[in-house]
Structure 1
Amino acid sequence: MLLTVSGPPGSGKSTNAAALADRFDLDHVSGGDIFRELAAERGLSPVEFNELAEEDDQIDRDLDRRLRDIAVDRDDVLLESRLAGWLAADHADIKIWLDAPQEVRAERIADREGKPVDVARRETSRREDSESLRYEEYYNIEIADLTIYDLTFNTARWGPESMQHVLATAVEAYDPAVDEGKAPVEDVVYEF
């Protein structure tokens, strides 16, 4: 089974992806973890590395290609990244988008990273704007287009355990036979 979990920073992607991967015994591959590791290797914060990626498109392209290869070549994996649904659009069994209002996400990030909420809000907004522009420029992907996703949730509406229960119930109820013989949702081929 290949699952994808996508969404903006602070939406609960990592928390829910880790819980789903554990519940369904899937390898959890996090694009965010890889991105942060690459930033740390260069001695940069994720925000600084994101700004560098604006100038050097190879950073995004290498990360996205690596994640796409995982989606194509591996089974029993949960792929988590902002573009995971797009990267695995024609291979994923279930594509999930998680979101929450910006204020909720900023509070979560501030709590997680030990910074003031207003700083988290500014950094997150800047990061989202930057990524959105790059995805459009590189791949002609409108990140706000959620039509490729099978499930979309506002995670501010449920606590972490309840959200994990809802997601697990949806995955357990998935019947691959329903998808047999159907045309792919997206005809567009993205070059990652």
Structure 2
Amino acid sequence: MKHIILIPGMLGAGCTKVAEILGKKLNFECINTEKIVKRIVTEGRLSYTELEAMTLSGEINLEEVIRSVVLDYLSEGNVIVEGRSAFLVLDRDVDLKIFLFADTEFRINRIAERRGIALDEAREAVRKSDEDRSGLVKRLYRKSWLDPTLYDMLINTTNLKFEAVAEIIRTALENKYEKE
């Protein structure tokens, strides 16, 4: 049986790390917006600059292109879609939709450390990301991105190791298909 897991969440809540750990445990491919854009650039023989220019000019709708690539991955199965890209396919029937969130200060500190930037810059990145993801879900589904009915499970990663979060998700997938 082929499985699909979506791990959307807040910037800095650990979506990428959790997906990587879970992907190794399950031998699933992990994809996110960064990986998809790299694939578009590589396969399309475009530079990032050309892709950005085409997006800004309206020549291509990058969001639709990314969604199309994600749907290709979903058709293959045994995939984890994490981060912003996962929000683009929340309307799809998949095995699990797990929303990761964390306290704002935790996220700001994590982003500052991960990107090697000042706290003020990280705070702005978190704010912009929250605004972007909120707007995306509102536009696509007319719901709040924090609406728990969009997801199978919500996990606060503030006080959990990412390995533990990955194990919670693995167990949820395993239990979903256990015979009663």
TM-score (norm 2): 0.78
2:146 paired residue among 139, 144, 147: 144
C-alpha spacing 1:118/1:43, structure 2 compared with 1 (3 Å): farther
Q: Does 1:64 align with 2:67?
A: yes
Indicate the residue corresponding to 1:190 in structure 2: none
Indicate the residue corresponding to 1:92 in structure 2: 94
Deviations 1:92-144 (A, max 9, x none): 11111111011111111111100012211112202321342244335535322
C-alpha spacing 1:131/1:55, structure 2 compared with 1 (3 Å): farther
Give, in whole Å, the separation in 2 of the partners of 1:33 and 1:105.
22
Please, which runs of 5 or more residues in structure 2 have no aligned partner?
A: 42-46
Give, in whole Å, the separation in 1 of the partners of 2:89 and 2:129.
20
Letter of the structure 1 residue corresponding to residue 149 of structure 2:
T
> What is the count of residue pairs matched by the alignment?
171
Indicate the residue corresponding to 1:6 in structure 2: 8
Alpha-carbon RMSD across the aligned residues, in angstroms, is 3.0
SS at match of 2:92: coil
2:49 paired residue among 32, 42, 55: 42
**Deviation of the 1:166 alpha carbon:** 2.2
Please, which runs of 5 or more residues in structure 1 have no aligned partner?
A: 179-192
Identical amino acids, percent of aligned pairs = 23
C-alpha spacing 1:138/1:2, structure 2 compared with 1 (3 Å): closer
**Deviation of the 1:67 alpha carbon:** 1.3
Q: Does 1:117 align with 2:119?
A: yes
